[in-house]
């Protein structure tokens, strides 16, 4: 670089997976390990939740993240997509693309897709004008698209168009590159003329063979592994949290460094999928949703702790690059904040909850989340069972395309469920005259492969004994906040409760006086939800994410201290549990994460 030999070892850390108050801490720890660069995706869907309305504040101030990396002495590898995968809902693409144009061809030359991509990229890339390396900034590399060779469309017109769009903004002040699996099958569609092709692979790979694939498409230039996996992702229902042996990570790292290769660890710090942001994968016909934690078995843990893997990598880099680090990194205790008893405060189908937290729509047939302009959460579909069905009749309810999980109610009473993951689309029930309710949950849109246009809700006819049901009332619960639940709690309002639907439990609590670190920061903690079933946790109106303790392998929810209020202020916790119906539930804070 600049006429001198240059080699980078980078670590992925996504600004959107941690509170902005922790950015500097994580960047400093990356630098202290001997790395000289940080890599981050940019998640379009978070920045443009509503078409044409952009958010670059707080945890989404990506420009500030890049500037902070430079302040900490790190180069930046920017991966702006527009598609990023990253185990995020819809691979980081905004759901409303399918609202505006249900048949849109994503990641292609589709007119509407390219229109919105150009509008977004002009807005985003324009923010980095003074941060490209050629302008004195830290951004040395900019990725075009993401593993496009793994996508079915192989639309060269689209990737050439993207290259030109990126070039307009970068203007040769940083190097454009692509990333694909280390195979000709992937690289043949992923490679873009004029854009440097790199590969990705994990420990125990044949390093020489992997780089041979890159050399076929880039006969000269640096060897680059843009995603070297020190850990892996985890789905709900898997027996164990994914792990990668440190010895294997270090062994393959040495082999790459011996080849003078450039390496980016994916992930070096994983973080969390707060709220509903976790994605899903589909393998054949099998759908699997991602857990809330994105710890990834990375060298830096979800809570920012340095692992044995971190120090093993640090030792290798110090050896190869003759480094001596004088960077001081902080270690953080965790807060054991005790037990909280939450009381039953509201139920999802109660009149006031429907009015204040629901969005209503009436249609002849059931509509998808996207058609209802709803991103996340739940939709309740209700209809009246036709009088032609005899009370007490044994019948079969069928929904061939349920996306993703359904709870079925007759006159408000739960009678069974349907599941995309379990491929359960039929339910035997005894007919009652009156109301049929089907509460459907979005568990995360597919983030990889040919099925990323993953619409949610009821996508097919609903039949009872092969008779299609019509005239649907739909109530959408996006759960962007739980302020209504707090008001129900404070007023002890009977209109917030009936005996129907999921239960919201709530409580106010104060932290102990001794909850601070030396620098007056509140301690992080974990909430143990292992004895609950499935649901959501909100603290001070922030959605910490989903738990699913009946499936595992994650049994705690990470609670960053910055989302808590110090003594003597009161904190407010809300837990929505989908199965437990009782007057009170108890949860406790703990200092360690629990995974199986």
Q: Is residue 461 part of a domain?
A: yes
Residue 518 has pLDDT above 60, yes or no: no
Q: Identify the H or E element spanning 25.
A: helix 23-32
What is the mean pLDDT of the segment spanning 278-294? 96
**Confidence bin at 128 (pLDDT 50/70/90):** very high
Q: Is residue 595 part of a domain?
A: no
Is there a single domain that holds both residue 183 and residue 96?
yes
Rounded Cα distance between 300 and 306, Å, is: 5
Taking the CA of residue 520 as centre, how many other CA atoms within 13 Å lie in the half-sphere pointing to its CB?
A: 0
Domain residues for the domain of 379 are: 359-477
Q: Is residue 523 part of a domain?
A: yes
> For residue 496, what pLDDT is reported?
98
Is there a single domain that holds both residue 296 and residue 418?
no
Q: Is residue 147 part of a domain?
A: yes
**How is residue 385 written in tokens?**
């069972």
Contact 15, 53 (CB under 8 A): no
Contact 43, 120 (CB under 8 A): no
Least confident of 24-33, 243-252, 513-522, 526-535: 513-522
Is there a single domain that holds both residue 46 and residue 192?
yes
Could you give the C-alpha distances from 436 to 60, 382, 383, 384, 471, in angstroms and in order?
Answer: 41, 6, 5, 6, 11
Least confident of 39-53, 161-175, 330-344: 330-344
Is there a single domain that holds both residue 126 and residue 259?
yes
Domain final residue, candidates 455, 477, 499: 477
Residue with tokens 């990356």: 30
Is there a single domain that holds both residue 205 and residue 193?
yes
Average pLDDT score over the chain: 97
pLDDT tens for each residue of 205-240: 999 999 999 999 999 999 999 999 999 999 999 999
Is there a single domain that holds both residue 211 and residue 69?
yes
Q: What is the CATH number of the domain that holds 558?
A: 2.60.120.260
Higher pLDDT, 5 or 145: 145
Is there a single domain that holds both residue 141 and residue 277?
yes
What is the mean pLDDT of the segment spanning 312-330? 89
**How is residue 241 written in tokens?**
């949290």
Is there a single domain that holds both residue 375 and residue 497?
no
Q: Is residue 188 part of a domain?
A: yes
Enzyme catalytic residues: 147, 227
Is there a single domain that holds both residue 473 and residue 547?
no
Q: Is residue 62 part of a domain?
A: yes
> For residue 513, what pLDDT is reported?
84
What is the mean pLDDT of the segment spanning 95-105? 97
Residue with tokens 């093993």: 312
Is there a single domain that holds both residue 66 and residue 199?
yes
Is the omega angle on the peptide bond into residue 518 within 30 degrees of 0, that is, cis?
A: no
What is the mean pLDDT of the segment spanning 152-174? 97
> For residue 519, what pLDDT is reported?
54
Residue 326 has pLDDT above 90, yes or no: no
* Residue 395, C-beta contacts closer than 8 angstroms, at least 6 positions apart: 389, 428, 429, 430, 431, 464, 465
Number of domains observed in the structure of the chain: 3
pLDDT tens for each residue of 505-514: 999 999 998 7
Higher pLDDT, 262 or 5: 262
Q: Per DSSP, what are the bridge partners of residue 533? A: none
Least confident of 98-107, 511-520, 564-573: 511-520
Residue 591 has pLDDT above 60, yes or no: yes
Rounded Cα distance between 549 and 332, Å, is: 27
Domain final residue, candidates 477, 505, 529: 477
Q: Is residue 334 part of a domain?
A: no
Q: What is the CATH number of the domain that holds 146?
A: 3.20.20.80
**Confidence bin at 327 (pLDDT 50/70/90):** confident
Rounded Cα distance between 446 and 276, Å, is: 13
Is there a single domain that holds both residue 435 and residue 498?
no
Least confident of 189-193, 387-391, 481-485: 387-391
Other CB atoms within 10 Å distance of the CB of residue 115: 11
CA nearest neighbour of 125 among 183, 81, 88: 81
**Confidence bin at 539 (pLDDT 50/70/90):** very high
**How is residue 198 written in tokens?**
């790199």
* Residue 111, C-beta contacts closer than 8 angstroms, at least 6 positions apart: none
Domain final residue, candidates 439, 457, 477: 477
Rounded Cα distance between 80 and 179, Å, is: 13
> For residue 322, what pLDDT is reported?
86
**How is residue 192 written in tokens?**
């873009």
Q: Is residue 2 part of a domain?
A: no
pLDDT tens for each residue of 245-257: 999 999 999 999 9
Is there a single domain that holds both residue 417 and residue 531?
no
Is the omega angle on the peptide bond into residue 82 within 30 degrees of 0, that is, cis?
A: yes
**Confidence bin at 520 (pLDDT 50/70/90):** low
């Amino acid at each position: 670089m600049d006429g001198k030999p240059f080699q980078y070892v980078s670590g992925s850390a996504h600004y959107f997976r941690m509170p902005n108050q922790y950015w500097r801490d994580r960047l400093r720890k990356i630098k202290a390990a001997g790395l000289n660069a940080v890599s981050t995706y940019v998640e379009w869907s978070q920045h443009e939740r509503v078409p044409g309305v952009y958010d670059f504040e707080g945890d989404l101030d990506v420009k500030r993240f890049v500037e902070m990396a430079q302040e900490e002495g790190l180069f930046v590898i920017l991966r702006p997509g527009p598609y990023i995968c990253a185990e995020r809902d819809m691979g980081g693409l905004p759901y409303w693309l399918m609202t505006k144009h249900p048949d849109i061809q994503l990641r292609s030359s589709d007119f509407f897709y390219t229109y919105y991509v150009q509008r977004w990229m002009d807005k985003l890339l324009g923010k980095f004008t003074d941060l490209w390396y050629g302008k004195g900034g830290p951004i040395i590399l900019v990725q075009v698209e993401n593993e496009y060779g793994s996508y079915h469309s192989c639309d060269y017109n689209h990737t050439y168009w993207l290259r030109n769009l990126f070039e307009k903004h970068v203007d040769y002040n940083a190097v454009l590159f692509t990333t694909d699996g280390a195979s000709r099958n992937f690289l043949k569609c992923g490679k873009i003329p004029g854009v440097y092709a790199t590969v990705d692979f994990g420990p125990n790979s044949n390093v020489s063979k992997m780089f041979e694939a890159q050399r076929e498409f880039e006969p000269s230039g640096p060897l680059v592994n843009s995603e070297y996996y020190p850990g892996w992702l985890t789905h709900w229902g898997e027996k164990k949290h994914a792990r990668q042996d440190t010895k294997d990570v270090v062994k393959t790292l040495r082999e790459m460094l011996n080849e003078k290769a450039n390496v980016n660890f994916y992930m070096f710090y994983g973080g969390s999928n707060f709220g509903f942001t976790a994605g899903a994968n589909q393998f054949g016909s099998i759908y699997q949703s991602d857990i809330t934690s994105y710890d990834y078995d990375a060298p830096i843990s979800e809570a920012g702790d340095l692992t044995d893997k971190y120090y093993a990598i640090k030792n290798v880099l110090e050896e190869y690059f003759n480094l001596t680090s004088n960077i001081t990194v902080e270690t953080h205790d965790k807060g054991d904040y005790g037990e909280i008893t939450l009381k039953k405060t509201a139920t999802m189908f109660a009149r006031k909850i429907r009015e204040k937290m629901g969005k209503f729509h009436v249609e002849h047939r059931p509509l998808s989340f996207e058609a209802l302009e709803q991103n996340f959460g739940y939709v309740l579909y209700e209809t009246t069972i036709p009088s032609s069905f005899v009370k007490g009749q044994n019948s079969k309810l069928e929904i061939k395309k349920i996306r993703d999980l359904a709870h079925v109610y007759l006159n408000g009473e739960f009678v069974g469920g349907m599941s995309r993951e379990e491929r359960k689309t039929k339910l035997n029930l005894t007919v009652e005259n009156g109301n049929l309710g089907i509460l459907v949950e979005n568990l995360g849109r597919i983030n990889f492969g040919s099925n990323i246009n993953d619409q949610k809700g009821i996508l097919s006819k609903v039949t009872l004994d092969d008779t299609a049901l019509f005239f649907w009332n739909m109530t959408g619960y996006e759960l962007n906040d739980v302020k209504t639940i707090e008001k129900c709690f404070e007023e002890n309002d009977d209109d917030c409760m009936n005996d129907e639907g999921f239960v919201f439990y709530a409580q106010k609590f104060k932290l102990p006086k001794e909850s601070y670190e030396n620098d007056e920061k509140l301690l992080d903690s974990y909430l143990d939800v292992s004895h609950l079933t499935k649901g959501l946790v909100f603290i001070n109106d922030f959605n910490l994410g989903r738990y699913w303790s009946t499936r595992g392998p994650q049994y705690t929810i990470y609670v960053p201290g910055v989302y808590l209020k110090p003594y003597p202020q009161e904190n407010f916790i809300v837990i929505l549990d989908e199965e437990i119906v009782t007057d009170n539930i108890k949860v406790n804070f703990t200092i360690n994460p629990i995974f199986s």
